[in-house]
């Protein structure tokens, strides 16, 4: 059956039909998915049935896979493969984590608008989240994941604003993003393991050729600017970039696979009923070079 692409939003997001992602996919199929990613930045596949191994195999077709901050920690894990990130509220024994569980509090950082791993010297490219268990709603959200289009956000800046931001460099730091929600209890050694990294504020996407703002909750300050001034510009840009007109909100159904491109989007999770399991699995592809070496 042929792959179909149906736009979900004026700027960002498309639904892909006609594919069973368990089936082997040839180079032309990978190319077709890349084209859809370059055009829409976020892709939604419904009604998939993927084991962690099948998710890993599919993701490998798009690049080398990240081993995330959580999977890199020593100790027993709920999931078998380190390349599959555990985006859930469950502990090693599949029980809902206690309210004050440190890993739960760390993962609440995902509720801030961010792009993944921008605190790494070479950040990541694609995020692929697969929904295994979806939670009931809470008064403030139903566990949706929202995606904001950083290309449309850049395009809508004035020429004078673009001239200010185009060549800026930003320092990204996971301890800054977690500190914003008051989470400071990192496991020993992690501060040393994840020092801040510098990234361009404006990136040109190699697939679409479009410029986008590279913002994130990890973005701490602008290099060469007084800290408060840079922080305020980043906050203004973040407010601008996450206006509702730039946002696609994904309501999860079991069996959804959502792929997003971290180079031209931000995303955040929304609250949900925390007494019930929410179980998503994530594969993430790595980039090959620093954003500082990208052409403006
Ligand atoms: C992620 C993430 C948000 C969510 O997996 O990178 O930020 O809704 N997830 O779980
Ligand atoms: Mn994320």
Mind listing the pLDDT tens digit for each residue in 213-243? 999 999 999 999 999 999 999 999 999 999 9
Q: Containing domain of residue 54, as a range?
A: 4-293
pLDDT in tens, 242-283: 999 999 999 999 999 999 999 999 999 999 999 999 999 999
d(CA 71, CA 80) in angstroms, rounded, equals 10
Domain count for the chain:
1
Q: How far is the CA of 206 from the centre of ligand 2 (A)?
A: 21
Whether pTM > 0.85 for this model: the answer is: yes
Q: How far is the CA of 115 from the centre of ligand 2 (A)?
A: 6
- How many Cα atoms occupy the beta-carbon half-sphere of 241 within 13 Å? 29
pLDDT in tens, 36-90: 999 999 999 999 999 999 999 999 999 999 999 889 888 899 999 999 999 999 9
Residue 203 pLDDT > 90: yes
Q: Where are the beta strands (DSSP E) in the chain?
A: 4-7, 14-17, 42-45, 85-88, 124-133, 145-149, 169-172, 197-200, 202-204, 211-213, 219-222, 247-250, 257-261, 265-269, 279-286
User: Which residue's CA lies nearest to atom 7 of ligand 1?
Assistant: 110
d(CA 71, CA 87) in angstroms, rounded, equals 11
Reading the block at residue 79, the tokens are 């999931």
> Is-contact 46 254, C-beta < 8 A?
no
User: Which residue's CA lies nearest to atom 6 of ligand 1?
Assistant: 116
Residue 91 pLDDT > 90: yes
Query: The domain spanning residue 154 has which CATH number?
Result: 3.60.130.10
Q: How far is the CA of 114 from the centre of ligand 2 (A)?
A: 6
Residue 1 pLDDT > 70: no
Q: Is the CB of 259 under 6 A from ligand 1?
A: no
């Amino acid at each position: 059956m042929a792959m179909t692409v149906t736009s979900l939003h004026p700027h960002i997001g498309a639904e892909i039909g006609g594919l069973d992602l368990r089936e082997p996919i040839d180079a032309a199929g990978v190319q077709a998915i890349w084209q859809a990613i370059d055009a829409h930045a976020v892709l939604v596949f419904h009604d998939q049935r993927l084991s962690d191994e099948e998710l890993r195999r599919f993701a490998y077709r798009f690049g080398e896979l990240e081993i995330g901050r959580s999977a890199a920690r020593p100790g027993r894990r709920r999931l078998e493969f380190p390349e599959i990130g555990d985006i859930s509220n469950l502990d090693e024994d599949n029980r809902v984590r206690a309210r004050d569980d440190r890993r739960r509090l760390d993962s609440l950082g995902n509720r801030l608008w961010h792009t993944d791993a921008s605190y790494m010297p070479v950040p990541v490219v694609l995020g692929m989240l697969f929904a295994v268990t979806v939670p009931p709603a809470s008064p403030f959200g139903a566990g949706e994941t929202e995606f904001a289009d950083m290309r449309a956000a850049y395009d809508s800046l004035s020429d004078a604003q673009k001239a200010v931001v185009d060549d800026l460099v930003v320092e990204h730091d996971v301890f800054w993003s977690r500190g914003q929600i008051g989470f400071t209890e990192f496991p020993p050694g992690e501060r040393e393991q994840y020092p801040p990294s510098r990234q361009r504020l404006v990136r040109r996407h190699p697939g679409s050729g479009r410029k986008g703002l590279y913002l994130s909750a990890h973005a701490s300050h602008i290099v060469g600017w007084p800290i408060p001034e840079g922080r305020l510009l980043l906050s203004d840009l973040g407010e601008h970039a996450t206006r509702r007109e730039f946002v696609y909100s994904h309501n999860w159904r079991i069996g959804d696979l959502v792929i997003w491109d971290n180079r031209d989007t931000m995303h955040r999770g929304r609250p949900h009923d925390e007494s019930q399991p929410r179980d998503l699995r994530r594969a993430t592809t790595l980039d090959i070079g620093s954003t500082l070496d990208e052409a403006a």
